[in-house]
Structure 1
Amino acid sequence: MADMSIPEFFTGRSIFITGGSGFMGKVLIEKLLRSCPGIVNIYMLIRDKKGKSPEERIKAMLDLPLFKVLKKENPRAVDKIIPVTGDVMELGLGLSEEDRKVLIQKVSVVYHAAASVRFDDSLRDAIIMNTRGTREVVLLAKEMKNIIALLHFSTTYCNTDRKVIGEEVYPAHADWRDAIKLAENVDRYELDMLTSKYIDPLPNTYTFTKSLAEHVVKDLCDGIIPTVIFRPSIVISTWKDPIPGWIDNFNGPVGILVAVGKGVLRTLYTEPDLVADYVPVDIIMRGILAGTWKKGITKDVKERNELVVYNCSQNDISPVTMKEIVHIGQNLIFECPVSDALWFPFCQITKCWYLHFFKVLFYQLLPALFVDGLLKLSGRKPILIKVHRRIYIANMALEFFITNQWKFLNDKGKALETELLPCDVEDFGYNTDQIDVHEYFRNGMFGGREYLLKESPDTLPRARLQIRRMWLISQIYSMIWYVGMAYLVWYKIPYAQIYRNVADFTYDYFSSL
């Protein structure tokens, strides 16, 4: 067993992080500063964006609720975040010569989390960001004088051509060197024409370029520097660390619950019994820090420099099906309603694409057209058709993932936790057996309401009153609908005439035999 705790391992070290402004990057930075107070500095690669300087972007990030606990416990810890101007899309990461020298001299742990996670990115942009960007990070890490660990953020879904995915790097579908040359030299339009054939059998440019990135890491690092590839599955809101339910994007099951609660998502195309392989983001960060620690404390040089792959998956630990997630959401309608929902929340799962399309048309698009028409007549800007178009496109991009099932083997990941020192288990243990799924998604829904929709908890009483009214209206509407249909069936259909026509047809048919 190791004789050095995780906080002790990080004491006196400086960290370099790419993707620090992303969802996982923010949680990683917060966890490092709060649980490993001995860290010297965190160098955060960040670029100018929307007219904001790197310093302004970091200040805005630190104002997020995610950092409240840290600033209360150790307010000066945030001073350890040092912005480094650069861009993963550029050669050399866009670093100045001076910044590069500082990183080479001072950094001993590198986290490469930057990536484009859009499924519909052009092949060129995805290769430049996810594959070439990884190469540039690796080349920098190999120059570092004191490198003790490089951890590359990947995804369990970069090998979706296999149904069972182990903790290893599988044979490549293309040579990453050739892919980078294509992206750098071939016209974007021509590359777009080749995309579907080039990335086959993977479903989109994201999974393809993340798979290539793993081979960049394997080819350039294995046996040379201590390296870990960490593959999380679907990353969603925090379980409890530092606060329950924190999230900053609509991806995954929490986004579905919020969209249903708002009344804009009423049908979901998926397999009801498909396991939604989600992992809370704070659990992932605990595993990442444990993996870094394990790699860094390994004394045998040969073993330390061997590439290790961890799958961070919950499909065999706390499986939850899509049907169960929707059911949990239905149970939260009255407890955690969103303000100004369009209509009473309701969502049906279907595995028939044609039925799903029919429901999209009648449950979502036609009502949206009606509401947008009223908005336009009142002089306001129509919004619903645009929202539903985005939802439909997002569902199309996700179709492959929410209609297929994979098994991710995670023996190494589970074994890693058993090696933690007793003093590290509370802050860095990631056993999810104790997670109450209903309570977790309840916190996720409250978090989605507060952090995504920006609705204060003070608005809950009003929202609960609204949702009761909407429920009553929906019940009255349903009753009128069924009574009307019954009236048509009972009084307006000429049963006697139908009976006579059938009898005459039958008589004529048999008479002609």
Structure 2
Amino acid sequence: MSFLKDRDMDNAPSIYEYYKGKTIFITGGSGFMGKVLVEKLLYSCSELDRIYLLLRDKGGVNAEDRLAAMYSSKCFDRLRKEKPDIFQKKVFFIAGDCSELGLGIGADDRTLIVNRTNIIFHVAASVRFYDSLKKAAKLNLRGTREIVELAKEVRNLEALIHVSTSYANTNRECIEEVIYPAFADWRDTLEICDNIDDNTLNIVTAKYLGELPNTYTFTKQLAEHVMAEQKGKLPIVIMRPSIVISSLNEPSVGWIENLNGPVGMIIASGKGILRSLYTNPDLQADYMPVDICIKTFIAAAWARGTQKLKPTDEIEVYNVSQSHKIKGLSMGEIVEVGKKIIHEIPLEGMLWYAGGSLTTSKFVYNMKVLLYHLLPAILVDLVLRITGNKPMMVKIQRRIYIGNLAVQYFVLQQWTFTNNNIVELREKIKEEDRDHFYYLMETLDPYEFFKNACIGGKEYILNEKMENLPKAKAHLKRMKLLDQVVTVAIRGYALWFVANIGFVRRFLESLF
């Protein structure tokens, strides 16, 4: 039985009213989505009681200092300007680690969470495709089990939001908002990871994953079953975002902290280091702005938390995606949009002329990698060596090539993610909440969105300033001229070689 379908929300409190006085526990709060979640909760639900973030010591920095560093992020510029001191008053850290037993939380802190928490957002995850099975299982699978064990103890738990991924069941073409059969037993998987040595486990991993492409999707799929076992026992909602990219509006237009998905393609192309991608131009890219994802998380917790849990309640699943009822762009369209944007707003210090194309031919892709990635990289590194600078382009291109190999599985196939539930959820949002929590993708202007995303990439990741745009445009013209000269030289040499192939053969014969 669904807790949302055909439900009359007229007598339910608004989202703002619901979150009043609530205590929230968040894992993964220092990540990309986590920061936006914390900012949005503080900004739009300012009368919540407090937020506890699970933070571990990292890179020699303790949890307390990481919390301070987190607040210094530009993600919180709006909050610092409009609601100063709210972060310091309402956000606290809990020292711990999702990959540890008991989440690594001390006894006193655990008692605090058990007695005070009303809502849990489990956002923490290892998202690297090529993590070892042991490492991915430790965070994505065991971490989820430990969250469930903690949730069972929480006295006044109203909602547990588990963030999964739309790509947890990629063996299917159409992925509906249901929990599919597990690819393995999650308990057996944890036991195997705990008891088999790393070398043996790495050897058998590919076979163990079966139809799934990597340890990320595999462990996230099993983690859903850790949650599924609590049907009717815990107030769980599973959220499956697709590729989460820069914000539409909040906390600022174009806010971004990573180069995932289409935005990464545009930025890398704009820097002149990505000139070809092995994918189908007609493939529909499924991406969601981070602020829309966060609105669905907050609204889902409200919808679940305002309904008392019944033993017959299903665990609701939300595909936070756009491929079903919300039309997106194809990969080819994104490339064309990106080219226009990069010529309007070029990036500073581009290493080669901005451009690029897509191909479905692996041979053509590899030839383009050789001609447009590797050879220019060697040329740039040669110039860097001559000028006394450290060469870097070949190393960068190696990383890009490896990165492209990692995502090929996802950019060569098309999936449809049904999103009936997120569409239905937004229609339940009350009029008084619409300014802060209603989400709409259908009216999004792709050009303006990706233009703002590119500006966000310049500002938040590359630390470039818009006042330097004239210089960047001048550099773009120089790179275009260099690209044309090199292209003519390469084509000219190719024509000469073909025209004189007999001479080349005779020369080689005489030489050897």
Matched residue, 2:3: none
Structure-1 separation of matches of 2:280 and 2:478: 32
What is the aligned counterpart of 1:63 among 72, 75, 79?
Answer: 72
Structure-1 separation of matches of 2:222 and 2:309: 29
Structure-1 separation of matches of 2:262 and 2:85: 35
Matched residue, 1:142: 152
Equivalences for residues 347-366 of structure 1 within 5 A: 347-366=356-375
Query: Number of paired residues?
Result: 491
Structure-2 separation of matches of 1:75 and 1:346: 43
Structure-2 separation of matches of 1:481 and 1:443: 36
Structure-2 separation of matches of 1:439 and 1:374: 37
Structure-2 separation of matches of 1:378 and 1:300: 68
Q: Does structure 1 residue 453 correspond to structure 2 residue 462?
A: yes
Matched residue, 2:4: none
Q: Contact between 1:334 and 1:468, CA under 8 Å: does it hold in 2?
A: no
What is the aligned counterpart of 2:115 among 91, 94, 105?
Answer: 105
Pair 178,240 (structure 1): closer, same or farther in 2 beyond 3 Å:
same
Per-residue CA deviation, residues 261-291 of structure 1 (Å, 9 max, x unaligned), is 0011111110100011000000001111111
Q: Does structure 1 residue 311 correspond to structure 2 residue 319?
A: yes
Equivalences for residues 85-124 of structure 1 within 5 A: 85-124=95-134
Structure-1 separation of matches of 2:143 and 2:34: 16
Per-residue CA deviation, residues 239-260 of structure 1 (Å, 9 max, x unaligned), is 0112111111111110111000
Structure-2 separation of matches of 1:287 and 1:187: 41
Structure-1 separation of matches of 2:190 and 2:59: 28
Give the residue type in structure 2 aligned to 1:462: K
Give the residue type in structure 2 aligned to 1:177: R
Structure-2 separation of matches of 1:489 and 1:394: 34
Matched residue, 2:210: 200
Instruction: Percent identity, please.
Output: 46
Structure-1 separation of matches of 2:416 and 2:73: 35
Matched residue, 2:422: 413
Q: Secondary structure at the match of 1:28?
A: helix
Give the residue type in structure 1 aligned to 2:108: E
Q: Secondary structure at the match of 2:162?
A: strand
Q: Contact between 2:95 and 2:104, CA under 8 Å: does it hold in 1?
A: yes
Post-superposition shift, 1:493?
9.5
Pair 106,358 (structure 1): closer, same or farther in 2 beyond 3 Å:
same
Per-residue CA deviation, residues 213-237 of structure 1 (Å, 9 max, x unaligned), is 0000111x21101110000001000
Matched residue, 2:13: 4
Matched residue, 1:260: 269
Equivalences for residues 246-257 of structure 1 within 5 A: 246-257=255-266
Pair 377,312 (structure 1): closer, same or farther in 2 beyond 3 Å:
same
Per-residue CA deviation, residues 38-73 of structure 1 (Å, 9 max, x unaligned), is 111110001111111212212222122211111111
Post-superposition shift, 1:298?
1.4
Bigger radius of gyration among the two: 1
Give the residue type in structure 2 aligned to 1:40: D
Equivalences for residues 60-459 of structure 1 within 5 A: 60-79=69-88, 80-219=90-229, 221-299=230-308, 301-302=310-311, 305-316=313-324, 317-459=326-468
* Worse overlay, 7-16 or 360-369: 360-369
Q: Contact between 1:254 and 1:441, CA under 8 Å: does it hold in 2?
A: yes
Structure-1 separation of matches of 2:364 and 2:94: 51
Q: Does structure 1 residue 16 correspond to structure 2 residue 25?
A: yes
Q: Contact between 1:126 and 1:209, CA under 8 Å: does it hold in 2?
A: yes
Give the residue type in structure 1 aligned to 2:310: V
Post-superposition shift, 1:302?
3.8
Structure-1 separation of matches of 2:273 and 2:489: 23
Gaps of at least 5 residues in structure 2 are 1-8, 503-512
Structure-2 separation of matches of 1:493 and 1:357: 24
Give the residue type in structure 1 aligned to 2:157: I
Structure-1 separation of matches of 2:59 and 2:244: 26
Equivalences for residues 458-477 of structure 1 within 5 A: 458-477=467-486
Post-superposition shift, 1:480?
6.2
Give the residue type in structure 1 aligned to 2:318: Y
Per-residue CA deviation, residues 160-210 of structure 1 (Å, 9 max, x unaligned), is 011111111100010000001111111111110110000111000000000
Equivalences for residues 484-499 of structure 1 within 5 A: none
Structure-2 separation of matches of 1:350 and 1:297: 50
Gaps of at least 5 residues in structure 1 are 495-513
Q: Give me the TM-score of the superposition, normalised by structure 2.
A: 0.93
Per-residue CA deviation, residues 409-428 of structure 1 (Å, 9 max, x unaligned), is 11111111111111111211
Q: Contact between 1:149 and 1:292, CA under 8 Å: does it hold in 2?
A: yes
Per-residue CA deviation, residues 367-392 of structure 1 (Å, 9 max, x unaligned), is 21232233234432221111111111
* Worse overlay, 288-297 or 373-382: 373-382
Give the residue type in structure 2 aligned to 1:48: D
Q: Contact between 1:239 and 1:280, CA under 8 Å: does it hold in 2?
A: yes
Post-superposition shift, 1:299?
4.0
Structure-1 separation of matches of 2:344 and 2:301: 40
Structure-2 separation of matches of 1:93 and 1:300: 25
